[in-house]
């Protein structure tokens, strides 16, 4: 055995001894206690999330734009904030907050919450379909906000902002239909974006893909009819 191999083996032995010594210094069941504490924190976060989701469901069932809907949405936001404070890596709580903020009409804040959900480390907690649905919702919010530009902006700058938002929405929707291929609304919204960009073939394909998912989906049929009328 060579001198270098002996040195390496000696180093490994020393490292192992140091690790054993460190573990022996830990208080009894210290690691188990830490794991139990983390588990309790996550359980508490889930409870706040469930309560927030219940508030959100009631807010959606209430008349749109009513004081009841806004109040319930506020309760949902409060519960989402409590869940996020306990477990910021759970994307579901960020999405819950975004949906509640949208009900209140706070689209910019809702977009920030969706951004947090779709960035590491939170995004790792989402399944492929959940991630796709979140991309769809972000695109929907982007397009909603682009329809009401600030009154102080000039016409050219407004058009530039709208183009950038549509481009961002297209990028999100392409991800959405890839990750959540049964989301018929994502296909239709992607078709509408392509239509606004003058990409007729791509728009028609997106609407046809929507009809593959749901042959009776009216919005997709209307999109294809609209494109046919323009081409005539």
Widest Cα–Cα separation across the chain: 85
Nearest 5°: CA angle at 224, between 159 and 201?
65
Along the 232 residues of the chain, how does pLDDT read in single tens digits?
Answer: 566 665 556 665 555 555 555 445 545 555 455 456 668 898 999 999 999 999 999 999 999 889 999 999 999 999 999 999 999 999 999 999 999 999 999 999 999 999 999 999 999 999 999 999 999 999 999 998 765 544 444 567 778 888 899 999 999 999 999 999 999 999 999 999 999 999 999 999 999 999 999 999 999 999 999 999 888 7
Q: At what angle do helices 184-196 and 200-213 cross, to 10 degrees?
A: 170
Q: Give the list of residues 6+ apart from residue 203 with CB closer than 8 angstroms, or none.
A: 191, 192, 194, 195, 223, 227
The tokens for 57 are: 């469901």
Q: Which domains does the chain have, with CATH numbers?
A: 42-126 (1.25.40.10), 127-146+154-232 (1.25.40.10)
**CB-based burial label for 60 (10 Å; 0-12, 13-18, 19+):** middle
User: How much is the pTM?
Assistant: 0.79
The tokens for 35 are: 């794991």
The tokens for 170 are: 């297209």
Q: Are 73 and 60 in contact (CB under 8 A)?
A: no
Tokens 């323009």 sit on residue: 230
Q: Are 191 and 204 in contact (CB under 8 A)?
A: yes
Instruction: Give the single-character DSSP code of 222.
Output: H
Neighbours of 59 (CB within 10 A): 23
């Amino acid at each position: 055995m060579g001198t270098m191999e002996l040195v390496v083996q000696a180093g490994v032995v020393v490292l192992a001894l140091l690790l054993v010594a460190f573990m022996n210094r830990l208080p009894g069941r210290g690691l188990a206690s830490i794991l139990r504490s983390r588990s309790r924190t996550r359980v508490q976060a889930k409870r706040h999330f469930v309560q927030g989701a219940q508030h959100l469901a009631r807010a959606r069932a209430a008349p749109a734009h009513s004081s009841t809907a806004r109040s319930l949405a506020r309760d949902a936001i409060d519960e989402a904030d409590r869940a996020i404070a306990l477990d910021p890596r759970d994307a579901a709580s960020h999405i819950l907050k975004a949906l509640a903020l949208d009900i209140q009409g706070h689209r910019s804040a809702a977009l920030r919450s969706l951004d947090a959900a779709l960035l590491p480390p939170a995004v790792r907690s989402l399944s492929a379909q959940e991630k796709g649905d979140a991309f769809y919702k972000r695109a929907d919010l982007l397009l909603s906000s682009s329809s009401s530009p600030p009154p102080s902006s000039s016409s050219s700058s407004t058009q530039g902002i709208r183009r950038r938002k549509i481009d961002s929405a297209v990028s999100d929707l392409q991800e959405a239909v890839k990750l959540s291929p049964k989301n018929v609304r994502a296909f239709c919204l992607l078709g509408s974006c392509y239509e606004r960009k003058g990409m007729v073939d791509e728009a028609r394909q997106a609407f046809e893909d929507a009809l593959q998912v749901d042959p009776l989906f009216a919005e997709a049929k209307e999109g294809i009819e609209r494109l046919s009328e323009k081409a005539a």
